[in-house]
Amino acid sequence: MSRWRGLRWWLLLVPALPLLLPLALHTRRRALRLAPAAGPLQGVAGGQLPGKPLLLLVLGESTVAGVGVSCLSQALVGCLARALCERQGRPVVWRACGENGITVAEARKRLLPQVLDDSPELVLLVFGVNDSTALTSIRRWQRALGDMAETLAAGGARVVFTGVPPLQHFRALPWLLRTLLGVRAALLDAGLREVAGRIAADYCPLDLPFAAEYLALDGYHPSALGYRLWAEGVAGALSLAPAPAGPAG
């Protein structure tokens, strides 16, 4: 990715700092804070179906923890498990490992060790919002993403990235703040696509309307409808091998 694009963003940011800093502090104080979704962090979709289960791990930030909905079955992991189950015609055993406010570098240290013994077949990595707001450098972002993905792939997992959410559509943020952070998110997303291409991981764009009904009450996280549409987009973008045939009766 061109360093000039990143430099231009910083050149836009610096003159705006006297306005942005108080705006960001005011927004943080007034923000509606929603709790992570309730319920077990793992489960099974389509348990009544025949065939070998697909082992799914979803790892990432607050959307993996299900912030915005009441239970994980309505969140990204539950919706993705059901969507994959419908397409594969076999059970999907899922696990969510997410933390509100975490960056990808922090997740590499704190979350990755928790899942290394799981041996998942499919891993969805969901990051970008917190790294956008934390102003993580592109180089550090790419290094942490690549290290995490390569570690998971070495254990036999197929690694999938979902696109960085476009913060310019987060209506909880004031216009100037969400505009600049939206540009930052786009830069991180471009860096993410580079990492995916370099290590032969999958990249699934995040394509949501971001109208009010697709967002939770905080105007920041997806609603149940938003999570479902997001998950269906990821499942539809993946080409998975058919389920292994069971033994002959």
Q: Which residues contact 134 (CB under 8 A, 6 or more apart)?
A: 103
pLDDT at 249: 36
Structure tokens at 117: 């013994």
Q: What angle do CA 143, 148, 154 make, to 5 degrees?
A: 120
127-175: per-residue pLDDT in tens?
Answer: 999 999 998 999 999 999 999 999 999 999 999 999 999 999 888 888 8
d(Cα 51, Cα 47) in Å, to the nearest integer? 10
Q: Tell me the Cα Rg of the chain.
A: 18
Q: Three-class SS of residue 71?
A: strand
pLDDT at 175: 80
DSSP 103-123: -HHHHHHHTHHHHTTS--SEE
pLDDT at 32: 73
The number of angstroms, rounded, from the C-alpha of 42 to the middle of its chain's C-alpha atoms is 17
Strand ranges (DSSP E) for the chain? 42-45, 54-60, 92-98, 122-126, 158-162, 202-204
Beta carbons of 179 and 212 less than 8 angstroms apart = no
Extents of the domains making up the chain = 3-237
Domain 3-237 annotated CATH 3.90.1150.10:
no
CA distances from 72 to 68, 69, 86, 110, 211 (A): 10, 7, 18, 21, 22
Which residue type does 49 have?
Answer: L
Q: Which residues contact 42 (CB under 8 A, 6 or more apart)?
A: 93, 94, 95, 96
Q: What angle do CA 137, 214, 128 make, to 5 degrees?
A: 10
pLDDT at 248: 38
Tens place of pLDDT for every residue, the chain, 249 residues? 545 566 666 666 666 666 666 666 656 667 678 999 998 999 999 999 999 999 999 999 999 999 999 999 999 999 999 999 999 999 999 999 999 999 999 999 999 999 999 999 999 999 999 999 998 999 999 999 999 999 999 999 999 999 999 999 888 888 888 888 898 999 999 999 999 999 999 999 998 888 889 999 988 899 999 999 999 999 999 977 555 554 433
- Residue 96, judged by CB atoms within 10 A of its CB (0-12, 13-18, 19+), counts as buried
Q: Between the CA atoms of 79, 81, 86 and 91, what dihedral angle is there, to the nearest 10 degrees?
A: -150
pLDDT at 15: 66
Count CA atoms closer than 13 A to 213's CA, side-chain side: 3
pLDDT at 247: 44
Predicted TM-score (pTM) of this structure: 0.89
pLDDT at 16: 66
pLDDT at 13: 63
Q: Which residues contact 59 (CB under 8 A, 6 or more apart)?
A: 97, 98, 107, 111, 112, 115, 123, 124, 125, 126, 148
